[in-house]
Structure 1
Amino acid sequence: MITMDDIIREGHPTLRKVAEEVPFPISEETKQLGKEMMEFLVNSQDPEIAEKYDLRAGVGLAAPQLDISKRILAVHIPSLDPEESDEPVLSTIMVNPKILSHSVQTACLADGEGCLSVDREVPGYVPRASRITISYYDLDGNKHKERLRNYPAIVVQHEMDHLNGVMFYDHINEENPFELDENTSLLS
C-alpha cells in the first residue's frame, strides 16, 4: 500500500525529469503500480483510512511522485454532489497520456492548487487550459480519447506536468500571483 512516506517531495531531482514512455505490452509491474496509485487516491479520500495511515487527500498522483520516472498517472475525482450520485466525476489510470488539443480560454482554481509532493501553501493562481482533448492507454493497452473541461481538465494537466518535470507553482505569475487575464475564469 502506498503511503505519504512513498511520495517524494519538492527538491527531489526525479520531480524535475521528463518521464519515460511506458513500453508495450504493459508489464505486470507497471499494471500493479497503476492499481496501487489508484488505491492510494481512493484511500486518501476515505476519512477513516486517511486518518489511520496519515494520508493527505489527493485527486491525482503521477508515477514520478513515487520516484518512478514513467509516464503513468492516476486520477480519482469523487462526485461533486454525493447526494445526487456516488459516481466519481473521473476515475482512471492513464498510461502515456498526450494532450491532443486545448482551448485558448484558461481557468484556475480560486483556492489555488496543492500537491502531495509540496508540503507548503503556495499562494497564487495557476492558469491552465479550461478544455483539453487527451489520448491515453489504460492498463490493458486500450487507447482512449477524452474531452475534459474545468476541474477534471485542471487535475489532469497538473498530473501531466509531473510527467514533464513541471511543478504547479511554475505556472504562477511571480510578479503578481493573483493576476488574471480576460481569458481566464476562476473556478470555485
Structure 2
Amino acid sequence: MRLDHIAYRVKDRYMTADFIKEAFGYKVGTEFQIKFDDESKADCLALVPPETRHPDTKFWTFYALQASPYGSIKPEYHAPPEIFVSDGSDGSIVGDWVAERGNVGGIHHIAYQVEDVGAIMNEWKEKGYAEFYSEEPITCKDPDLTQVFTKPSELTGVIYEFINREGAGFCKDSVKQLMESTAK
C-alpha cells in the first residue's frame, strides 16, 4: 500500500493549482469536466509531481545512486503523490461541499494504491475500520482501474480511497460515480 493521490475540493481550481505548481513544482496533467444528471458540473485538474514515473512500475518513484563500501546501490523512493483539484458550480456536489466549509474547501480524500481493492474493503469492513459509500468497488476499463471510498473516518474525519490502476489517469465515469456516492 502506498499513497497514490490527494483530492482537493476548492473554490477556484486554477488558483489552487497555481499555488501547488509554484510551491511544490507540480505540473498540470489532465483537465476535464464532470456533468451531473441535475445539469450541475465539476471542473477538474490532475496535477503530476515533478518526478517522473518509472516505466517498469505502476508506482511513482525516483532513484538516487549512493556509494557504499560494496559499490553503488540504487535505493527506490516513492515520489510525491498526484494531486487532483476540483471546483464546482453553485448547487453542484463539489460546490455544495466547498460552501459547507466556508467557501474554502480542503482535502476531500486521500487515496492509497493497493493490489486488491476488494480484499482491503473486506478487511476494513471485518475490522470495523470504516463504512463504505458503495457495496462493491467501482471498476472502469479505460484506464483499467478499480476504486472505492470509505465514509469519513470517525477518528480522523478523512475519507479514504483505495485504488488499483494500470498506468496513470482517472476514468471520468468512475470519478462521476465516486463524486455522486460521497454526496449522500
TM-score normalized by the length of structure 2 = 0.30
More helix by share: 1
TM-score normalized by the length of structure 1 = 0.30
Larger radius of gyration: 2
